Amino acid sequence: MAINAAQGAGKVAARPMTPEERKVILASSLGTVFEWYDFYLYGSLAAIIAKQFFAGLDPTSGFIFALLAFAAGFIVRPFGALVFGRLGDMIGRKYTFLVTILIMGISTFIVGILPNYASIGVAAPIILIILRLLQGLALGGEYGGAATYVAEHAPHGKRGAYTAWIQTTATLGLFLSLLVILGTRTVMGEAVFNDWGWRIPFLVSILLLGISVWIRMQLSESPAFQKMKAEGKTSKAPLSESFGQWKNLKIVLLALFGLTAGQAVVWYTGQFYALFFLTQQLKVDAVTANLMIAGALVLGTPFFLVFGSLSDKIGRKPIIMLGCALAIVTYFPVFKALTEAANPDLAAAQAKNKVVVVADPAECSFQFNPTGTAKFTSSCDVAKQVLAASSVSYDNEVAPAGTPAVIKIGSHTIPSYTSKGISAEEAKAKDAEFKKAVAETLKADGYPAKADPAKMNKVMMIVILTYLVILVTMVYGPIAAMLVEMFPTRIRYTSMSLPYHIGNGWFGGLLPTTSFAIVAQTGNMYNGLWYPIIIAGITVVIGTLFLRETKDVDIYAND
């Protein structure tokens, strides 16, 4: 195994990188930026896509299905890792990730010309989902190829520094997609953009595809793969070698649970969940929230390179484990501090006038309603739905069996009601009366309808959000080099891609949905943080106990 090989390879003198190798870093990183650009366009335009392609559903259900189609791209990423990882280990790194960028770019371009629901009916969302699945498959093959390719070109002692450039690409791709969308929206106007102008960012991807393909065609195969191929040592069955033999499978499992799962939840918490928390829980307007996140990303992104380079000196493992550990111990106080900075009125109201739902647990349902057709009629469900709709954080208190639920706001108590067994008109009247009573009481007890921009401590918000991004750079900056170093050359692409994409596609990609479900079920807006804290905790324990340091592994040694 490469993880056991040549621990003394650190004695090999680090040589400077040649101009050709610098071109490899630039070309690989730039191509991956474009690929992330394509992937994030869909998420950035999900609301418009819902109206264009899921118009046969009511607006709420349409948006939910648009988000589910977005999630599908994350779910299939591990399968792309298997397909393209196998090809990469059999035919080479260069041509495999040339194929992945072609699939991604063409799929994205087709979205830009795809007729909407009004034109071709149900075929529109079906084709859209197929294209989204192709994007996910392509991305599943891209990262492992780019990271492996760069690492196998990098001089010994510099792998962390140079693979760290790959780690910046997801953030830069998101920036690029937002920049193109903002520019198009500004030039065309909101009405035209929502009608057909949203297609322009998708169509622009064909230009980026052309640039990416041209750049990658100039590259040569990685020296490690060329050496292995010349010696006739390429794998004939990389899937069975990677996952069918325990000596390698155990390293794959360690890479997943002791490395990528924790890295993924810290990454998504610091960049996506933080944005969701600002807009949904703290009621910060979307423009301000996006600018705050963007500012934090600008300040934090250089630390990918800082920690990647530092990992060449002190090791990958201590930096990644420290990043996960800091997330575990600081997430709750940091997000509470973010509340005080972004919406001080809300923080003050929560401290002075706590909201509590007192209800019989037997009355309280698990309110998962992806199609918008389920009806929740008990007094507990009615109370929680009203608070959730107002993004109010609350605690739960058990009431005696059979007791109707009540909402306590400070010193006020508001009885809920059950809508079961009453006429639609009576239910509508009771609903309006109940919502009015709750809204008036919340207002009287200091709960703001939205965050007041004049009262925001924007400097502190930037500081807090930058700290969250720095945690992202700690766990993500060194991880590409470490994954490459954990596996032998003959099955490296396959072996490292699967744990990376299960970790980031499943544990990380589903974090916003999972954390939101926890908040919706428990009522407390901070409880969604338990998901990343628990996953990061598992990674710290497994990684600390069972993972070996890899920075001195000689990836050019014979496998």
Tens-digit pLDDT profile for residues 354-395:
999 999 998 887 755 544 455 678 899 889 888 887 778 899
Summarize the confidence of residues 65-87 as an average pLDDT. 80
Q: What angle do CA 348, 458, 174 make, to 5 degrees?
A: 120
Closest-CA residue to 11 (of 480, 553, 549): 553
Say yes or no to pLDDT of 474 above 60. yes
The answer to which of 135-149, 256-270, 462-476 has the lowest mean pLDDT is 135-149
219, two tokens: 């590259």
Number of folded domains that form the chain: 2
Tell me what pLDDT residue 172 has: 82
Tell me what pLDDT residue 46 has: 73
Tens-digit pLDDT profile for residues 396-436:
999 999 899 999 999 999 999 988 878 888 888 988 999 99
Domain boundary among 444, 479, 504: 444
Asked if residue 504 and residue 386 are part of one domain, the reply reads: no
Interior/surface letters 236-275, b for 16+ CB within 10 angstroms, e for the rest = eebbebbbeeeebeebbebbbbbbbbbbbbbbbbbbbbbb
Asked if residue 123 and residue 216 are part of one domain, the reply reads: yes
Say yes or no to pLDDT of 199 above 90. yes
Asked if residue 533 and residue 411 are part of one domain, the reply reads: no
Asked if residue 527 and residue 406 are part of one domain, the reply reads: no
Tell me what pLDDT residue 267 has: 92
Say yes or no to pLDDT of 38 above 90. no
Q: Give the ranges where 416-529 is alpha helix by DSSP (H).
A: 424-444, 458-476, 479-485, 492-502, 511-522
Tell me what pLDDT residue 2 has: 41
The answer to which of 102-111, 235-244, 346-355 has the lowest mean pLDDT is 235-244
Asked if residue 122 and residue 243 are part of one domain, the reply reads: yes
Say yes or no to pLDDT of 164 above 80. yes
H or E segment at 415?
strand 412-415
Which span out of 188-202, 275-289, 330-344 was modeled with the highest average pLDDT?
330-344
Summarize the confidence of residues 69-79 as an average pLDDT. 82
- CATH assignment at residue 419: 3.40.30
Summarize the confidence of residues 280-287 as an average pLDDT. 85
Tell me what pLDDT residue 233 has: 66
Mean pLDDT of the chain: 84
Tell me what pLDDT residue 1 has: 41
Domain boundary among 423, 444, 465: 444
Decide: 53 and 66 in contact? Cβ < 8 Å.
yes
Tens-digit pLDDT profile for residues 431-450:
899 999 999 999 999 999 89
Residue 280 lies in a domain: yes
Summarize the confidence of residues 119-144 as an average pLDDT. 86
Closest-CA residue to 456 (of 281, 294, 339): 339
* E strand intervals along 346-404: 355-359, 395-398
CA distances from 485 to 147, 163, 263, 481, 557 (A): 11, 12, 17, 6, 11
Spatial distance between the Cα atoms of 221 and 227, rounded to a whole number of angstroms: 10
Q: Domain range for residue 129?
A: 18-341+455-546
Decide: 136 and 75 in contact? Cβ < 8 Å.
yes
* Alpha carbon 353 to chain centroid, angstroms: 34
Asked if residue 266 and residue 167 are part of one domain, the reply reads: yes
Say yes or no to pLDDT of 12 above 60. no
Tell me the pLDDT band of 37, cut-offs 50, 70 and 90.
Answer: confident
Closest-CA residue to 152 (of 231, 93, 229): 93
Residue 38 lies in a domain: yes
Asked if residue 462 and residue 359 are part of one domain, the reply reads: no
Q: Using CB atoms within 10 A of its CB, is residue 384 exposed (0-12), middle (13-18) or buried (19+)? A: buried
Tell me what pLDDT residue 322 has: 98
The residue type found at 401 is A
40, two tokens: 């994030």
Spatial distance between the Cα atoms of 364 and 381, rounded to a whole number of angstroms: 6
The residue type found at 316 is R
Tell me what pLDDT residue 62 has: 67
Residue 336 lies in a domain: yes
The residue type found at 443 is K
Tell me what pLDDT residue 7 has: 39
In a 3-state reduction of DSSP, which class is residue 217? helix
Phi/psi at 220 (5° precision) = -105, 165
Tens-digit pLDDT profile for residues 107-117:
989 999 999 98
Asked if residue 150 and residue 56 are part of one domain, the reply reads: yes
Phi/psi at 412 (5° precision) = -95, 145
Spatial distance between the Cα atoms of 149 and 223, rounded to a whole number of angstroms: 9
Tell me what pLDDT residue 35 has: 67
Tell me what pLDDT residue 245 has: 83
Residue 6 lies in a domain: no
244, two tokens: 């069918």
H or E segment at 347?
helix 344-352
Tens-digit pLDDT profile for residues 310-339:
999 999 999 999 999 999 999 999 999 999
Residue 559 lies in a domain: no
**Which carries the bigger pLDDT value, residue 254 or residue 84?**
254
Residue 285 lies in a domain: yes
- Residue holding tokens 């502190």? 460
Tell me the pLDDT band of 66, cut-offs 50, 70 and 90.
Answer: confident
Asked if residue 158 and residue 68 are part of one domain, the reply reads: yes
Residue 2 lies in a domain: no
Tell me what pLDDT residue 121 has: 87
- CATH assignment at residue 505: 1.20.1250.20
Say yes or no to pLDDT of 5 above 60. no
Asked if residue 513 and residue 368 are part of one domain, the reply reads: no
Asked if residue 321 and residue 197 are part of one domain, the reply reads: yes
Residue 346 lies in a domain: no
Asked if residue 73 and residue 197 are part of one domain, the reply reads: yes
Domain boundary among 424, 444, 464: 444
CA distances from 169 to 22, 146, 174 (A): 16, 11, 8
Spatial distance between the Cα atoms of 498 and 319, rounded to a whole number of angstroms: 22
Closest-CA residue to 376 (of 359, 391, 395, 392): 359
H or E segment at 553?
none
